Amino acid sequence: MNQQVDSAGGAQNRTSVERKGDRELVITRTFNAPPSTVYRAWSQPELFQRWWVPKSASGVSLVSCDMDVRTGGKYRLEFGAGGSDTMAFYGKYLEVVPNERIVWTNDEGEEGAVTTVTFEEQGGKTLLNFHEVYPSKEALEEAIQGGAAALPEQLEQLDELLSSIGE
């Protein structure tokens, strides 16, 4: 089952997000600059951290950002939301081809996805393709349901509600 959601905008470059098959999420977008420029903005930590955490993600900021963007290198991003709690995302670069592609693991979870981003020249512009492959259908479902883990919670709330009103 494929679902695709496109953002509106005619002349603007559109962000397309699509679930492909059982284990993949694909995001594509065109940028008005050659691949070398887009690649630099993606691979240099001081540039990367200026856009990866958008201002609209209210309250969350990047506490630290270590990226050694080369094949075999590691990265670690730490996010904080004001308090002492930070959340870390980390992994290693499986493959780095400057101006063309970066492949990395997401090791903070049990069954993390492998992410590939490619930069493709298209008449002076760049077609960027961001592609997450989960190790199994279940892992992707888990990620989706994890985002919507409301049902068990709802059931608990329901249990509480029912016991409070007495059956």
The residue ranges that bind another protein (CB under 8 A) are 3, 5, 7, 13, 15, 17-19, 25, 27, 29, 31-33, 37-38, 40-41, 47, 50-52, 54-57, 130, 143-145, 147-148, 151, 154-155, 158, 162, 167
Give 55 or 84: the residue with its C-beta nearer to another protein.
Answer: 55
Q: Which of 94, 97, 87 is nearest to 35 (CA)?
A: 97
With contact defined as beta carbons under 8 Å apart, do 28 and 129 qualify? yes
Amino acid at position 60, single letter: V
Nearer to another protein, 60 or 94 (CB): 60
- Minimal distance, residue 72 CB to another protein, in Å: 26
If the CB atoms of residues 84 and 124 are measured against another protein, the closer one turns out to be: 124
The nearest distance, CB 154 to another protein, in angstroms, is 8
| Alpha carbon distances (Å) from 129 to 19, 99, 156, 158 | 13, 13, 40, 43
Token digits of residue 74: 């590691």
Tokens of 143: 């990620």
